[in-house]
Amino acid sequence: MIKNSLFGMVLAAIWMLPVGVPAQGTGAASRAVAGNTNTVGATQEADRTQWFREARFGMFIHWGVYAVPAGEWEGKTIKGIGEWIMRFRKIPVAKYKSYAPEFTAEKYDPELWADLASRAGMKYVVITSKHHDGFALYDSAVTDWDVMASGAKRDLLAPLSKAVRARGMKFGLYYSQSQDWTHPGGATSGEIGKIWDPAQKGDYDQYLKAIALPQAREIIDRYDPAILWWDTPMQMTPARVAPFAEMMAKHPQIISNNRLGEGFKGDTMTPEQHIPPRGFPGKMFEVCMTMNDTWGYKKNDHNWKSSKRLIQMLSDIASKGGNLLLNIGPRADGSIPQESIDRLEAIGKWMEVNSRAIHATQASPFPRRLPWGRITQDTGRQRGITLYLHVWDWPADGKILLPTLKELPAAGVMLNGGAVVTAERSPDGIVIHLPGKAADPDVSVARLDFPGSLTITQEPFNTPAADGTLTLSALDADPHGAVGGNIRVEGSGSDAYLTDWNQQEYRVEYNVKTGKAGKWNITAEIAAKEPVKLSVRSGSSTNIVSIQATGDGMIWKTESLGTIDLPAEEAVIELKPVPDSWKPINLRSLKLRPADSIGAK
């Protein structure tokens, strides 16, 4: 994976380029060039990717020699992710290779690893066959810098492949084709040829020809992966990509991502460490996420996400039609940190009851997020549609609204416990009556069965209230993160607010439709420990606003964000940090008033 830096931002922008609608193309070759849209081709493509689209949940494994230093260099904990220690500290190749004898895998139990994934409800496993340090977890015919040079001295991929497939899961491989910090000529992050050790000096094209391409062929031929997960495509021009694309065209069954290089669209979008606010409608996407802050094992990283947060991430991603690839970073001896095991077991316990609301489901039919949780749907029933209501915030009165929905469900039940769920029509849509208390402390799921199609007329944009004002809550925001993470929503209802706005690359968007062109005054409820500057933009209208410190703690104050011009049709209001002035803030709501209204300021 990549570090949190400007370089990372550039690569992230490359990786987020569209990969093409999955229903287009006629096989692997079409993933490298524009595909046609004939019916036969669309059907073939849908069949090829069906298992992935239904899986929704997989395990990522980052394992290699970097687990030996485990985030420590010369007695000090490094900043950043553990598997980048060689690059961060510019460790000489010979010194880094001296760690290999301590990579023993003596406690490696592939059956246990596969069991953990299966019991967690995961449908596939992807492991690093070679990461940026150039170390291969198998006996490679094209290099001596592989598992045979380590204390493990055995193929570590084959037994895991066997164990994973024995449990009905798919087996995939990660391969770092561009960055390689040990083989001469491999990219070392930043500029090609920019090295910190003379041992790295070499020709990039020769590296691709002698190491990367032969190893990619090796892992396909030996392990027949269902997924090939590329990463960090630095200066992978179309000419450099071409032989890899030709290789992939010979293996149309393999699903690949969009990180190989220029011109290769792949199958999946790959947002890293953040969930896209609206997913990627019409495209397959897979969010890769750590449980703490590192991919490879780092012994002093104790910033673990809670099981509840991970379950809600899975719920959120599935509601947008995507997959979650959740990472573990084993130690050098092959043992898995207990914190990872505990979280996988907690997710598995939830999935035992609620997996049908995740696997083989489609994105929510509602165009906007709902304040109480998320929705997935199953449209594959012979008759009718099933909605799964993922209730994150259990209502005190037991009622939640499905806005603008016209049809009543034929039946409703809680997946955990089987309590009956009822429904009634209201002017605003269908009101769902839930049982007395939450069925699950993390996410409670209600199943609603409908005999036919659904009619939903919800406006995808936020519109003014009857008094002409437009209030935008934290739940109306579309937070856009980056490789390092994302802004997240804390709290519920009117008390919900945006937090973890830690990086100046993060931004927030609100989709609005005013119905009348004109000038609008904007105010915001903000809590800020330090003064910052914020850019407020819509179309060609931009304000640079100075936000004053509100004090320590969560002290909310209403700040003016100035006046902006909005059209009568749909518009996007963007809030973005002014570079080099940013400190974290919390944002609860925006309020827009027509500038020409009575009492407007």
Instruction: Say which DSSP state 407 is in.
Output: P
**pLDDT score, position 334:** 98
Q: Is residue 366 part of a domain?
A: no
CB 129 within 8 A of CB 60: no
Asked whether residue 462 is domain-assigned, the answer is: no
Is the predicted pLDDT of residue 77 greater than 90, yes or no? yes
Confidence of residue 386 (pLDDT cuts 50, 70, 90): very high
> Does residue 9 register a pLDDT over 70?
no
pLDDT of residue 13: 42
395 & 301 share domain: no
Let me know the angle formed at the C-alpha of 352 by 118 and 226, rounded to the nearest 5 degrees. Answer: 30
pLDDT of 90 higher than 80: yes
Query: Residue 209: inside a domain, yes or no?
Result: yes
Residue 373 has pLDDT above 70, yes or no: yes
State the pLDDT at residue 257: 98
Q: Are 424 and 449 in contact (CB under 8 A)?
A: no
Per-residue pLDDT at 485 exceeds 90? no
- CATH value at residue 387: 2.60.40.1180
Q: What is the model's pLDDT at position 190?
A: 66
Measured distance CA(528)–CA(551) in Å, rounded:
7
| One domain, residues 273 and 147 | yes
For the segment 219-245, the average pLDDT, to the nearest whole number, is 97
* Region 351-357 average pLDDT: 98
Query: What digits encode the pLDDT tens for the residues 106-147?
Result: 999 999 999 999 999 999 999 999 999 999 999 999 999 999
Token pair 């519109």: residue: 463
Q: pLDDT value at position 89?
A: 96
pLDDT at 193 over 60: yes
Give the chain's mean pLDDT: 91
Residue 12 has pLDDT above 50, yes or no: no
Same domain, 528 and 578: yes
Does 465 map to a domain? Answer: no
* In a domain? residue 367: no
* pLDDT over 70 at 10, yes or no: no
First to last CA, the chain: 48
Which pLDDT belongs to residue 596?
85
Between 88 and 18, where is the model more confident? Answer: 88
Q: Is the pLDDT of residue 243 over 80?
A: yes
Of 13-22, 49-58, 86-95, the one with minimum mean pLDDT is: 13-22
Residues 276 and 388 in one domain: no
Residue 484: per-residue pLDDT: 78
Distance, in Å, from the CA atom of 120 to the CA atom of 142, rounded to the nearest integer, reads: 36
Calculate the alpha carbon distances from 304 to 290, 309, 341, 561 in Å.
Answer: 9, 10, 12, 36
Q: Supply 329's token pair.
A: 């970073």
Last residue of a domain, one of 297, 332, 357: 357
CA distances from 184 to 40, 138, 180, 197, 437 (A): 45, 20, 8, 10, 62
What percentage of the chain reaches a pLDDT higher than 90? Answer: 85
- The predicted structure's pLDDT at residue 320: 97
pTM: 0.91
Provide the domain limits for residue 521: 470-594
Tokens describing residue 212:
């990367």
223 and 340 inside one domain = yes
- For residues 33 and 262, give the distance between their C-alpha atoms in angstroms, rounded to a whole number: 11
Note whether residue 456 is domain-resident. Answer: no
The pLDDT of residue 494: 81
DSSP string covering 376-393: EEE--SSSSEEEEEEESS
| Statement to judge: residues 324 and 429 lie in one domain | no
Residue 547: name the closest of 536, 531, 560, 562 by CA. Answer: 531
Residues 442 and 485 in one domain: no
The DSSP annotation for 248-260 comes to: HHT-TT-EEBS-S
Structural domain count, the chain: 3
Supply the pLDDT for residue 8.
47
State which of 306, 331, 357 marks the end of a domain.
Answer: 357
SS3 label, residue 283: coil
Q: Are residues 393 and 297 in the same domain?
A: no
314-349 pLDDT tens trace: 999 999 999 999 999 999 999 999 999 999 999 999
Give the pair of three-digit tokens for residue 300.
Answer: 């002093």
CATH number at residue 220: 3.20.20.80
- Examine residue 307 and state whether it is found in any structural domain, yes or no: yes
Q: Are residues 206 and 290 in the same domain?
A: yes
Residue of 193 and 63 predicted with greater confidence: 63
CATH number of the domain enclosing 509: 2.60.120.260
Q: How much is the CA Rg of the chain, to the nearest whole Å?
A: 25
pLDDT at 422 over 60: yes
Residue pair 221/250 in contact (Cβ under 8 Å)? The answer is: no
What would the pLDDT profile of 33-67 be if each residue is shown by its tens digit?
A: 333 334 446 666 779 999 999 999 999 999 999 99
Same domain, 413 and 488: no
242 with 379, same domain: the answer is: no
Annotate 476-492 with b (16+ C-beta within 10 A) or e (fewer): bbbbbbbbbbbbbbeeb
Q: Give CA–CA dist 118/561, Å, rounded.
A: 50
| pLDDT at res. 1 | 66
The pLDDT of residue 482 is 87
For residue 600, is it within any domain?
no
Three-class DSSP category at 215: helix
Please check whether residues 202 and 234 belong to one and the same domain. Answer: yes
CA distance 560 to 546: 9
